[in-house]
């Protein structure tokens, strides 16, 4: 950015001055909460799986490490996992960043509902969405047929192709970027843009030279989450990629469930963990170096009506692309839930209330009750753990802060198969014998949700101008009061967004839950997959009905949370 651009964006682009450290007692107390949680529900299960794989007979078998690293096929799996994640992340950012700006800066009818609905694809079980994409992209689908006609050929079959994988990855992850980046953009002081306009800058230049530098920490944060999910992609690659493509996650599942080769699976899990840790360390350093202090405001004053035809065209194009990407698969699910052998109707939904008509141990509707109950507990735990961790990272310094940040994100980069199986073999003896306890399911869900809570809250904490805290301190406010009167009002919306993320993620978590959910207390995703695994139109129809209910619950919960507003900070 040139000097004129720097002048336009001052004071917001001032690099972060060193933030005073928290008191030792406070730091240790806050850090103890996430450290204890991760030690019990992440480190112990993963270490147990790796130990079981590398010491199957009680003695170390390290020769398998060299065998795995020397296998060209397995090296190809690692390479494919990395480059497809890079491409998927780039495509997701290309689609989601314009949408994030449009939703954060433009007011239009249905905006709140759309902001909530965007989160729905993220929490749907991958097996359900992958099945919908198979129908959409097959030769008889509404996408492949018109494409084939457009190019003057027979209907294209996009199943088991990289195109299908990339489209599905964008579908799942666009909401991450919109919620994380859009959440920050909504809180940027609109007076910064007004000041740029008064100096003669157009909307495009203002967005590039004022908003982009301020949003970079949130973009890095969102990109890191998307990369982790695509790097560890399982259901999408397994179903849409077919036998030609395999990520590390798919290969770990194959080695564990099909070949029963635990040593190879353990080495692959260890390789995945090391790679993810290195990538997270790089991302954390980049995010901290890009962070700037800036004035934040309540989100209500940021959005405005588009007042020029380029802005209206931009808004229409962004929302149109989003509707096409997200609407087609979701419409397919809804239509399948309403299509019965007797015609269109609610027959599959009525069967959810009939235990005799279900192949599950309970009526399908009980899975909805279980999911809601577990998600509430998981959200409370995730917000408590994640908020404590975010404060420690934001107010810490250097290598310690970055290392703690990386540790918090590691659960997203480890195979869900590894974590779920690790729960069963590590939490089976007193005082941690939790295999038959209901609390294990929400703890597994919270483990997945905590990184989201941290990534949503952290950019806002980093963006708070330190001069506000210093001014409060000069006026005699204690550290606790500074947090209550300065930080909390500014970060309150981020906490609300984080809670919404945690609740939605908990509703749709499947990878680890499938290992530990009891037969009499299934969650909705577990029930859906169990129904899809049984032949018969009734089971498929009930699975589609449960998927639609999950969509409605997620939209309703996120819409309710999006209405929460922090009180404005006196300026």
The DSSP code for 570 is P
Question: In the prediction, which pLDDT does 291 show?
Answer: 54
Question: In the prediction, which pLDDT does 566 show?
Answer: 41
> Low-confidence residues of the chain, pLDDT below 70?
1-27, 56-58, 61-62, 123, 125, 138-157, 159, 187, 189-204, 207-210, 257, 280-281, 283-303, 357, 396-402, 413, 465-466, 479-480, 558-571
Average pLDDT, the chain: 76
Cα separation, 63 vs 41, whole angstroms: 29
Q: Say how many C-beta atoms besides its own lie within 10 A of residue 430's C-beta.
A: 5
For the chain, which residues make up each domain, given as ranges? 21-562
Is residue 33 within 8 A of residue 385, CB to CB? The reply is yes
Buried-state track 257-294, b at ≥16 Cβ within 10 A, e below 16: eeeebbbbbbbbbbbbbebbbebbbebbeebbebbbbb
Cα separation, 311 vs 288, whole angstroms: 32
Phi, psi of 42 (to 5 degrees): -135, -60
Token code pair at residue 184: 């920050």
Question: In the prediction, which pLDDT does 377 show?
Answer: 93
Q: Say how many C-beta atoms besides its own lie within 10 A of residue 468's C-beta.
A: 19
pLDDT in tens, 148-174: 555 555 556 676 788 889 988 999 899
Question: In the prediction, which pLDDT does 199 show?
Answer: 67
Cis before 431? omega within 30: yes
What 3-state class would DSSP assign to 339? Answer: strand
- The residue written with tokens 């949680």 in the block is 37
Which of 114, 466, 100, 175 minimizes the C-alpha distance to 296?
Answer: 466
Question: In the prediction, which pLDDT does 285 show?
Answer: 64
Instruction: Quickly list DSSP for 468-508.
Output: HHHHHHHTT--HHHHIIIIIHHHHHHHHHHHHHHHHHHHHH
pLDDT in tens, 475-520: 777 766 777 777 777 777 788 878 887 888 888 787 778 778 887 8
Degrees to nearest 5, angle at CA 389 with 387 and 285: 120
Cα separation, 159 vs 410, whole angstroms: 32
The CATH T-level fold of domain 21-562 is MetI-like fold (1.10.3720)
What 3-state class would DSSP assign to 106? Answer: strand
């Amino acid at each position: 950015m040139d000097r004129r651009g720097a002048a336009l964006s001052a004071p917001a682009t001032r690099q972060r001055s060193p933030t005073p450290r928290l008191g030792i007692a406070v730091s240790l107390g806050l850090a103890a909460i996430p450290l204890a949680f991760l030690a019990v529900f992440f480190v112990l299960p993963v270490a147990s799986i790796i130990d079981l794989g590398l010491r199957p007979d009680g003695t170390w078998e390290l020769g398998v490490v060299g065998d795995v690293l020397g296998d060209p096929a397995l090296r190809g799996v690692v390479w494919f996992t990395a480059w497809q994640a890079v491409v998927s992340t780039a495509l997701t950012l290309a689609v989601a960043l314009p949408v994030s700006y449009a939703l954060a800066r433009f007011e239009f009818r249905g905006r709140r509902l759309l902001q909530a609905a965007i989160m729905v694809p993220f929490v749907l079980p991958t097996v359900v969405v992958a099945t919908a994409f198979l129908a959409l992209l097959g030769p008889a689908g509404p996408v492949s047929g018109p494409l084939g006609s457009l190019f003057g050929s027979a209907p294209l079959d996009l199943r088991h192709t990289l195109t299908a994988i990339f489209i599905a990855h964008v579908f799942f992850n666009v909401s991450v970027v919109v919620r994380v980046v859009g959440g920050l953009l909504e809180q940027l002081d609109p007076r910064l843009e007004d000041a740029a306009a008064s100096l003669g800058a157009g909307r495009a230049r203002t967005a590039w030279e004022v908003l982009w530098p301020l949003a970079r920490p949130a973009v890095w944060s969102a990109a890191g989450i998307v990369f982790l999910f695509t790097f560890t992609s399982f259901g999408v690659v397994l179903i849409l990629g077919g036998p030609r493509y395999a990520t590390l996650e798919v290969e770990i599942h194959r080695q564990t469930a099909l070949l029963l080769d635990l040593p190879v699976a353990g080495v692959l899990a260890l390789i995945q963990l090391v790679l993810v840790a290195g990538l997270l360390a790089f991302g954390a350093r980049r995010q901290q170096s890009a962070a700037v202090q800036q004035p934040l405001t309540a989100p209500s004053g940021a959005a405005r009506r588009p007042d020029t035809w380029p802005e209206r065209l931009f808004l229409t194009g962004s929302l149109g692309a989003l509707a096409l990407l997200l609407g087609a698969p979701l419409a397919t699910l809804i239509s399948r839930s309403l299509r019965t052998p007797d015609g269109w109707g609610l027959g599959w939904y009525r069967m959810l209330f009939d235990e005799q008509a279900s192949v599950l141990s309970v009526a399908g509707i009980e899975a909805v009750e279980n999911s809601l109950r577990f998600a509430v507990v998981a959200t409370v735990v995730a917000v408590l753990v994640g908020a404590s961790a975010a404060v420690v990272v934001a107010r810490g310094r250097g290598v310690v802060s970055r290392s703690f940040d990386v540790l918090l994100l590691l659960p997203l980069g480890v195979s869900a198969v590894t974590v779920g199986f690790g729960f069963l073999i590590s939490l089976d003896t007193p005082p941690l014998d939790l295999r038959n306890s209901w609390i294990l399911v929400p703890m597994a869900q919270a483990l997945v949700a905590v990184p989201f809570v941290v990534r949503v809250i952290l950019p806002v904490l980093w963006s708070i101008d330190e001069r506000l805290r210093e001014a409060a301190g000069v006026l005699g406010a204690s550290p606790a009061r500074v947090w209550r009167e300065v930080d909390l009002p500014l970060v309150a919306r981020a906490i609300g967004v984080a809670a919404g993320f945690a609740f939605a993620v908990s509703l749709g978590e499947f990878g680890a839950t499938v290992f530990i959910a009891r037969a009499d207390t299934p969650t909705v995703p577990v029930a859906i997959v169990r129904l899809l695994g049984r032949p018969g139109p009734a089971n498929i129809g009930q699975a589609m009905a449960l998927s639609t209910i999950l969509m409605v619950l997620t939209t309703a919960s996120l819409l309710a949370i999006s209405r929460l507003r922090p009180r404005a900070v006196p300026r």
